Amino acid sequence: MLLIEILPNKCDFCGCCVGVCPEDAIELKEAEIKIDETLCTNCSKCVWACPIEVLKFNKEKLGNRKII
Amino acid sequence: MKNEYDVIVVGGGPAGSMAARFAAEQGASVLMMEKDRDIGYPVRCGEAVSKAGIEEFIEPNEVFISTIIDKFGMISPDGTEVVIPLEQIGYILERRVFDYELAKQAASYGAEIVTRAYVNGLIIENGKVCGVKYEYKGEQLELRAKVVIAADGVESRIGRWAGIKTHIDFRDMESCTQVTAANIDVDPNTLLFYFGKDVAPEGYFWIFPKRNKSANIGLGVSGAIGKKKSSQAYLNKFMDEHYPNAPVLTRIAGGVPSSITLEKISAPGIILVGDAARQVNPLSGGGIVSGMIGGKIGGTIVGEAIKQNNLNHILTYDKAWASRLGKRHEIFNRIKNGIYNFSDEQFNSIAHAVSKVPMEKRSLGNLFKTALLNKPSLLLDIAKVFLIK
Ligand SMILES: Cc1cc2nc3c(=O)[nH]c(=O)nc-3n(C[C@H](O)[C@H](O)[C@H](O)COP(=O)(O)OP(=O)(O)OC[C@H]3O[C@@H](n4cnc5c(N)ncnc54)[C@H](O)[C@@H]3O)c2cc1C
Ligand code: SF4
Ligand code: SF4
């Protein structure tokens, strides 16, 4: 399950997240960003690299499930 | 557009334009594909270069030069400011115009250019890259080429599709935010750097003056810092404290891959240049000139390979880059890691020592010695490296 959330209308399309993503899970066009949930491992590296707090690791989405 | 090219360059930044130019100069048919609507826009850059660095490629011209730089200023954490004259001058560019000029230069050597062409895959046959898949005007298309040059910047993915490991450690990504603001009253010829854990931990904060009292003001923080506090939060704090009423003309985010060059920058049918190859000077974060150098070396080798009908020749690119700059970047990267460990007290004591030297005796050389005395580190190369070809 994808736990990385892209906050709407905030992205500047700068590419920091793509540059650090080990799974090549992020697709970035001129003004469009998407995370491929079949590739993403929720490692959060993109969250730490984003200069303007667009990406968020969404714990709530987990509910009371655990990541194994 | 033709049905097939000798060379397709992906990305229309400085590295891409120079790769296109130098490949075309060898007689290859070249197409440069850019995903954005414009070459050179948006500008995600502090725009500082050395005169010597760009002169290898283009005659300095006031259409793309905003200001001339002849001094380096350092502000230590306790607010001590020391200014040092530079032996060699530099420029703050108007990259919007500069990148355009470079693309026009590529075109003048015969390269074709298409914008709004988003490359989203590679054609790979028998383990060799044979062209690109791309989106253009809502259509998914393919175009064949003997060699693909990936000049797709910090967000590079092209190399990965050819099996090259291109992502970098998040700690090596300098995540930047910058504003270009008006009414900034700083010396128009001084590059200003702020150091210290409050303004820019594990990095530096810059004010680069531009024409008519505007300036590029920004910082980069490593992903290790970004984990706790974002680049944007540091910039906002600085602006609130120093320039709360400055009109902001542009606000951008951007990434500088501050690492050594990738282990491998060529594979059958493909090479990587510029930020895509991680050819940025890891100490200064300067990637304009080093990207152009990577583009020149890569474009020339690819052009020769086409001319000689010997595609294996492109695999000599890794070595050629390593001997011109790659090896040097390894040293710079070690220096960078040393500087990251400087304490605020060390920055202060360097600034105090230099402030006692009379102005006419100050040079980067003796600033450098002071830094060395303080700690065997090479702090002031931050300034010097902007002046290296
Ligand atoms: C905030 C900041 C400040 C900086 N300050 C300085 C400085 O003062 N001095 C300095 O020398 N350097 C500086 N740099 C670094 C410098 O901007 C880069 O190193 C330089 O732009 C790299 O050039 P390039 O051609 O490799 O990549 P870019 O200039 O990034 O060009 C890559 C191009 O490829 C395009 N592209 C990407 N993917 C695709 C695709 N799939 N299909 C088609 N096109 C694609 C992009 O749209 C882009 O136009 C700074 C960087 C940042 C972020
Ligand atoms: S969480 Fe990790 S794998 Fe997922 S998009 Fe971000 S960097 Fe890539
Ligand atoms: S790092 Fe942040 S601002 Fe930059 S492209 Fe990724 S999500 Fe957008």
Q: Quick one: angle between helices B14-25 and B95-108, nearest 10?
A: 20
Whether residue A40 has its Cβ less than 6 Å from ligand 2 = yes
Specify the CATH class of A4-62 in words: alpha beta
Residue A20 contacts B, CB cutoff 8 Å: yes
CA atoms within 13 A on the CB side of B108: 8
Residue A62 contacts B, CB cutoff 8 Å: no
CATH code: domain B4-44+96-168+259-325 is 3.50.50.60
pLDDT band at B389 (very low <50, low <70, confident <90, very high): very low
Q: Which residue has the higher pLDDT, B365 or B166?
A: B166
pLDDT of residue B362: 83
pTM score, whole prediction: 0.94
Name the 3-class secondary structure at B127.
coil
Residue B229 contacts A, CB cutoff 8 Å: no
Cα(B7)–Cα(B302) distance, rounded to whole angstroms? 8
Whether residue B288 has its Cβ less than 6 Å from ligand 1 = yes
Lowest-pLDDT choice from A16-20, B16-20, B193-197: B193-197
Contact A18 B254 (CB under 8 A): no
pLDDT higher than threshold 50 for residue B223: yes
Residue B165 contacts A, CB cutoff 8 Å: no
| Cα-based torsion angle of the residue sequence B42, B46, B51, B52 in order, rounded to the nearest 10 degrees | -90
Contact A14 B232 (CB under 8 A): no
Cα(B63)–Cα(B214) distance, rounded to whole angstroms? 17
What are the backbone angles phi and psi of residue B350, rounded to the nearest 5°? -65, -45
Contact B227 A48 (CB under 8 A): yes
pLDDT of residue B388: 45
- What tokens does B164 get? 């090259």
Whether residue A35 has its Cβ less than 6 Å from ligand 3 = no
Q: Which pLDDT tens digit goes with each residue over B260-273? A: 999 999 999 999 99
CA-based nearest residue to B212, from B176, B253, B247: B247
Q: Which residues have C-beta within 8 Å of that of residue B161, sequence separation ≥ 6?
A: B121, B122, B124
CA-based nearest residue to B171, from B281, B46, B255, B48: B255
Q: Quick one: angle between helices B364-374 and B344-355, nearest 10?
A: 140
Looking at ligand 1, which residue's alpha carbon is closest to its atom 12?
B286
Chain B's closest residue to A28, CA to CA, is B155
If phi > 0 it is left, if psi is from -120 to 50 it is alpha, else beta; for residue B24 that is alpha
Query: β-strand B112-114 against B30-33: which pairing, if any?
Result: parallel
pLDDT higher than threshold 90 for residue B293: yes
Cα(B351)–Cα(B189) distance, rounded to whole angstroms? 20
pLDDT of residue B15: 98
Question: What's the distance, CA B52 to chain centroid?
Answer: 16
Q: Hey, what CATH topology would domain B70-87+170-257 get?
A: D-Amino Acid Oxidase; Chain A, domain 2 (3.30.9)
pLDDT higher than threshold 90 for residue A65: no
pLDDT of residue B387: 45
Looking at ligand 3, which residue's alpha carbon is closest to its atom 4?
A14
Q: Quick one: angle between helices B288-307 and B14-25, nearest 10?
A: 30
Contact B170 A45 (CB under 8 A): yes
CA-based nearest residue to A4, from A65, A51, A48, A68: A48
CA-based nearest residue to B100, from B4, B17, B191: B17
Cα(A60)–Cα(B237) distance, rounded to whole angstroms? 30
> Radius of gyration of chain B from Cα atoms?
21
| Cβ burial, residue B273 (10 Å; 0-12/13-18/19+) | buried
Q: Which pLDDT tens digit goes with each residue over B10-37? A: 999 999 999 999 999 999 999 999 999 9
CATH 3.30.9.10 in chain B, residues? 70-87+170-257
Looking at ligand 1, which residue's alpha carbon is closest to its atom 33?
B11
DSSP strand E in chain A: where?
Answer: 4-6, 26-29, 32-35, 55-57
Contact B170 A48 (CB under 8 A): yes
* Residue B12 CA, ligand 1 centroid: distance in Å: 9
Can you give the residue ranges of every domain in chain A?
A: 4-62
pLDDT higher than threshold 60 for residue B289: yes
pLDDT higher than threshold 90 for residue B295: yes
Percent of chain B whose pLDDT exceeds 70: 94
Mean local confidence (pLDDT), B286-299: 98
Residue A43 contacts B, CB cutoff 8 Å: no
pLDDT of residue B350: 84
Mean local confidence (pLDDT), A4-19: 97
- What tokens does B37 get? 């609507």
Looking at ligand 2, which residue's alpha carbon is closest to its atom 7?
A21
Cα(B362)–Cα(B74) distance, rounded to whole angstroms? 13
Say which ligand is closest to the CA of B180.
1
The complex's ipTM works out to 0.92
Q: Which pLDDT tens digit goes with each residue over B91-133? A: 999 999 999 999 999 999 999 999 999 999 999 999 999 999 9
Q: Are the beta carbons of B1 and B31 closer than 8 angstroms?
A: yes
> Radius of gyration of chain A from Cα atoms?
12
Contact A20 B170 (CB under 8 A): yes
pLDDT higher than threshold 60 for residue B369: yes
Instruction: Report the number of secondary-structure helices (H) and strands (E) in chain A.
Output: 2, 4
Chain A's closest residue to B168, CA to CA, is A20
Q: Which pLDDT tens digit goes with each residue over B41-79? A: 999 999 999 999 999 999 999 999 999 999 999 999 999
Chain A's closest residue to B115, CA to CA, is A30
Q: Which residue has the higher pLDDT, B62 or B382?
A: B62
How high does pLDDT run on average in chain B?
93
Name the 3-class secondary structure at B137.
coil
